[in-house]
Amino acid sequence: MTSPSPAACVAAPTTSARLPLSGLLALALTGFIAILSETLPAGLLDQIAEGMTISQAMAGQWVTAYALGSLLTAIPLVTLTQGWYRRRALLLAIGGFVLFNGLTALSDNNVLTLLLRFMTGAAAGLAWGLIAGHARRMVAPAQQGKAMAVAMLGQPIALSLGLPIGTWLGAWLGWRATFVVVTLAALLLVAWVLRAVPDFPGQAAGRRPAVLSVLRTPGVTRVLLVILAWILGHNILYTYIVPLLAAVGMDGAVGQVLMTFGLACLAGIVLVGLGVDRQLRRLVLLCLAGFALATLALGHLQGEAWLVHASVALWGLTYGGAPTLLQTACADAAGEGGDVAQSMLVTVWNSAIALGGIIGGLLLTGMGVASFGAVVLGLVALAWLLALGGRRAGFVVGARQ
């Protein structure tokens, strides 16, 4: 399907100082449902294993299948829908959450469920490829960073509050009913998007950038490499937070520590949202330096609870704004290839998550949690140097243009 000319745009970006909060919050809820759909099985492993008559390890593969769906399909789906009206593509992704989560709640066959989880991940890959670009087009250029910060709220809220609430619902209603609740939330989101999110045309056939041409755009590859290094380092620590806390005698406080992390992430989003349009480069460098400091602190703690929470709070504060900073930098560098670049970002981000689990597992088995610090610090240093070198493309000096 091709799009009309830009003059036929259904809605134009607002030039008002007021952010279109209702529409941006609808995008944030899309991200919330995407993250909750991905992580929900982790909080319901016992119930899923018992209900499906499978092992907990096999139930854990529901998360893996979802991640693979996002990883393998984000670029093809975003590329194929470049010419679609943007809201129609977004509704397709949300419709995927409705259909595949709903069928997951009904399925009694694990092979079928793994396929459904893969398809749910594909819907998420498309959604993440669209959210950033849609948020940016809803506002004037000077407000794009703030708009991105609001649209990205769904991720930390899902991680800090959504998963615990989903786990509680599972204990109360059962895992199938919990998936039904998520399905109904996605169905309500369809109505919200239709009411509050403006529509924009896709790109005309002659103006759709190819994947390789976007990748060659100055700054895009640099931003993607920073994402790979930063998110890989983060996920080595986050995936194995339980043994990390056990090493300092706080294995019984995992929930409290994750709550500290999630709340700090929310604060990080607010702070980044206030400054991303004026100081994107400086904030990236500052956040990476703060993450390095938090990593050093976590590697030298001796079980003092307040120090652990303080270190994790610093970690969350510096990570919370990372999606806003990195997606803004990626979209700025890519220009008209922004949606394709965002699909690359989704692929790299999910690759970093998967690699974080693999590399962290190898480190944990081979050398223990004490080895995490050096590896993560090396990755953070690499990301910092790459960002520092991107003053002309990727992480440019001064206010966003």
Q: What is the DSSP string of 164-175?
A: HHHHHHHHHH-H
Cβ atoms of 153 and 269 within 8 Å: the answer is yes
Q: 103 with 166, same domain?
A: yes
Q: 161 with 218, same domain?
A: no
What's the pLDDT at 241?
Answer: 79
What's the pLDDT at 254?
Answer: 74
The answer for residues whose C-beta is within 8 angstroms of residue 65's C-beta and 6 or more apart is 114, 115, 117, 118, 121
Q: 148 with 276, same domain?
A: no
Average pLDDT over residues 58-76: 86
Number of domains present in the structure of the chain: 2
Q: 66 with 133, same domain?
A: yes
What's the pLDDT at 248?
Answer: 81
What's the pLDDT at 312?
Answer: 92
Residue 216 resides in a domain: yes
Q: What is the residue whose two structure tokens read 């944030």?
A: 28
Q: 68 with 55, same domain?
A: yes
- 365 burial (CB, 10 Å; 0-12 / 13-18 / 19+) is exposed
What's the pLDDT at 10?
Answer: 42
Q: 226 with 326, same domain?
A: yes
Percent of residues, the chain, with pLDDT higher than 90:
41
Residue count of the chain: 401
Domain end, chosen from 174, 207, 240, is at 207
Q: Which residue has the higher pLDDT, 338 or 96?
A: 96
Residue 274 resides in a domain: yes
Residue 397 resides in a domain: no
Q: 18 with 62, same domain?
A: yes
Q: 82 with 163, same domain?
A: yes
Q: 190 with 272, same domain?
A: no
Residues forming beta bridges with residue 14, ordered by sequence position: 139
What is the band of 5 on the pLDDT scale with cuts at 50, 70, 90? very low
Q: Which residue has the higher pLDDT, 357 or 83?
A: 83
What's the pLDDT at 383?
Answer: 97
Which segment of 27-31, 351-355, 391-395 scores lowest on mean pLDDT? 351-355
Which segment of 106-115, 149-158, 203-212, 326-335 scores lowest on mean pLDDT? 203-212
Residue 401 resides in a domain: no
Tokens of 304: 């003092």
Q: Which residue has the higher pLDDT, 363 or 229?
A: 229
pTM score, whole prediction: 0.78
What is the band of 207 on the pLDDT scale with cuts at 50, 70, 90? low
**With left for phi above 0 and alpha for psi between -120 and 50, is residue 2 left, alpha or beta?**
beta
What's the pLDDT at 401?
Answer: 64
Closest CA to 335 of 205, 214, 203: 214
Question: Is residue 13's pLDDT more than 60?
Answer: no
Q: Running DSSP on this structure, what letter comes out for residue 205?
A: G
Domain end, chosen from 156, 186, 207, is at 207
- What pLDDT digit, counting tens, does each position of 119-171 carry? 999 999 999 889 988 998 999 888 888 888 888 888 778 876 777 778 788 88
Question: Is residue 303's pLDDT more than 90?
Answer: no
Residues forming beta bridges with residue 139, ordered by sequence position: 14
Q: Which domain holds residue 195?
A: 14-207
Closest CA to 90 of 49, 12, 30, 34: 30
Rg (alpha carbons) of the chain, rounded to whole number:
20
Which segment of 3-17, 40-54, 104-118 scores lowest on mean pLDDT? 3-17
Which segment of 140-149, 158-167, 243-252, 274-283 scores lowest on mean pLDDT? 158-167
What's the pLDDT at 376?
Answer: 95
What is the band of 113 on the pLDDT scale with cuts at 50, 70, 90? very high
Domain end, chosen from 168, 186, 207, is at 207
Q: 143 with 282, same domain?
A: no
Cβ atoms of 336 and 212 within 8 Å: the answer is no
What's the pLDDT at 96?
Answer: 97
What is the chain's mean pLDDT, rounded? 86
Q: 218 with 199, same domain?
A: no
Q: What is the DSSP track for 347-371? A: HHHHHHHHHHHHHHHHHHHHT-GGG
Q: Which of 49-53, 100-104, 317-321 has the highest mean pLDDT?
A: 100-104
What is the band of 187 on the pLDDT scale with cuts at 50, 70, 90? very high
Question: Is residue 380's pLDDT more than 90?
Answer: yes
CATH code assigned at 361: 1.20.1250.20
Q: Which residue has the higher pLDDT, 253 or 179?
A: 179
Cβ atoms of 356 and 236 within 8 Å: the answer is yes
Q: 263 with 373, same domain?
A: yes
